[in-house]
Amino acid sequence: MTRTSLRVAMIGHAFMGNAHSQAWRTAPRFFDLPLRPEMAVLVGRDADRAAEAADRLGWAESSADWRAVIARDDVDLVDICTPGDTHAEIAIAALRAGKHVLCEKPLANTVAEAEQMTAVADEARAHGVRAMVGFTYRRVPAIGLARRLVEEGRIGEVRHVRAQYLQDWIADPEAPLSWRLDKAKAGSGALGDIGAHVIDLTQYITGDRIAEVSGRLETFVKERPYATSHSGLSGTASTERGPVTVDDAASFLATFGSGAMGVFEATRFATGRKNAIRIEINGSLGSLAFDFEDMNVLEYFDARDDAEVNGFRRILATEPGHPYVAAWWPPGHGLGYEHGFTHQVVDLVEAIAAGADPAPSFADGLQVQRVLAAVETSSHTRTWQEIPQS
C-alpha cells in the first residue's frame, strides 16, 4: 500500500521547531498514519542558520523566505513555530494559499488578530483546508484520560477547577531581560505564555467554557539588567537595566458556564517549581488531580467507592487502554514532554485524511485569547469581566 504523502513546511527552528521536528519524525514510526508526512522545508530568517537547522533536525530543504515556501505547490501543510507577533500574517497567507496550518499557541498576540485568523480559517475550511492551534498538553495521556473520565460522567457535575502553571526561571531579580519580558514582542508575560495552557486544559477537560473572570496581573521586578545575549530564556547580565513590560504573574477567579468555580495562577516566580502544570477538578461524584512534574500520573477519586477503601487513585496512565499509549511501550514505561507533540501530529494527520476538523481549532484559540484579554482588562478595571461568546 502506498500512502499519499503530506508535505510539510515548518517555519521557525528554536525550542518549538525542535519539538515539532521530533514529532514529525517520530509520529509515523509509532502510529499507523493515513498519510505519510514528509519533512520538506524548514524556514528561518537567516539562510545559513536555517540550512544548518534543517540538516540537524532532518528537513529535506531549507529557506529564508516563508512567502515563497507557502506559494509552492509541493507544500501541503505549514507548521508555524515562530513568536506570536508573526502568527497572524503567516497563518492567514498559508490558509489563503490552501495550505493546512498548524499554529503554535498562543494563536496571536491580540484578540483582533485571532478573530481575523479564525475568520480566514472558517473560509478555508469550506475548501477542505484545516487549521489547528498547538495546545499540545492536551495530548499528554493522563490529560486525555482526565477528559475521558469527565465525559463518561465519572466525576459528576463539576464544582471546582483549580489550576496553576508554576515556573521559577525569573524568580531571581537579577535574571536578565529577554524578549519574553518585552510586551512589544511577547504580547504578554506569564499570563499569555503559560496561563493560556491551563485555560485551554481546564476547558478541554471539563468540556465547559469560562464565562467571566476577575484577575490581577503583577510585575514584581520592574527593572532588570539587559542580557548581553538575547537568545531565549537565559543570558549573561549586563550592568545596564531596562524595564520589564509584561506581567511576571497572573492570578484570576473564573466562573465557568456551568457555574463551576475556577481559580487560576500562572507565574514565573514560584521558586522550586519548574514546570508545574497542576490541575485539580472536584465534581459531585469524584475528583481528578494532575501535575505535569509527574506527567504519567492522573489521580482520581470516585465518591461511589466503598468508603472503607476509598482514596485518590494514583493511575499510572501507561496502560494500553489509555489515550495514545498502545502505540508506545508496556505498562509503567513512561512517556516524556515531547510525546504530546507527536500525538498532535497524529491527530492532525488523521483529521486531514478524514476530512474532519482537528481540535483545538482557531476558534478555540480565539476563545482562549478572549479569556486572556478579559483577565488583563479585569486587572485594570478591578471588576469582573465577561468573556464574549462568539
Q: Which of residues 129-148 bind its own copies (CB under 8 A)?
A: 145, 148
Pick from 47, 285, 326, 354: which binds its own copies (CB under 8 A)?
285
CA distance 127 to 124: 5
By CB under 8 A, the residues from 209 to 248 that bind its own copies are 214-216, 218, 220, 233
**Position of cell 504523502?**
5
By CB under 8 A, the residues from 334 to 353 that bind its own copies are 334-339
By CB under 8 A, the residues from 78 to 117 that bind its own copies are none
Burial of 379 (0-12, 13-18, 19+ CB in 10 A): buried
CB of 350 to its own copies, least distance (A): 17
Residue 210, classed as helix, strand or coil, is: strand
CA distance 253 to 213: 5
Contact letters for its own copies, residues 46-75 (x by CB under 8 A): ----------xxx-----------------
Contact between 284 and its own copies by CB under 8 A: the answer reads yes
**Residue 80 contacts residue 17 (beta carbons within 8 Å):** no
Which residue lies nearer to its own copies by CB, 118 or 167?
167
Widest CA span in the chain:
66
CA distance 7 to 41: 8
Which residue lies nearer to its own copies by CB, 91 or 161?
161
Residue 338, C-beta contacts closer than 8 angstroms, at least 6 positions apart:
19, 22, 23, 26
Size of the site for its own copies (CB under 8 A): 98
Which residue lies nearer to its own copies by CB, 338 or 357?
338
Burial of 388 (0-12, 13-18, 19+ CB in 10 A): exposed
Which residue lies nearer to its own copies by CB, 296 or 344?
296
Pick from 271, 326, 356, 377: which binds its own copies (CB under 8 A)?
271
Contact between 179 and its own copies by CB under 8 A: the answer reads no
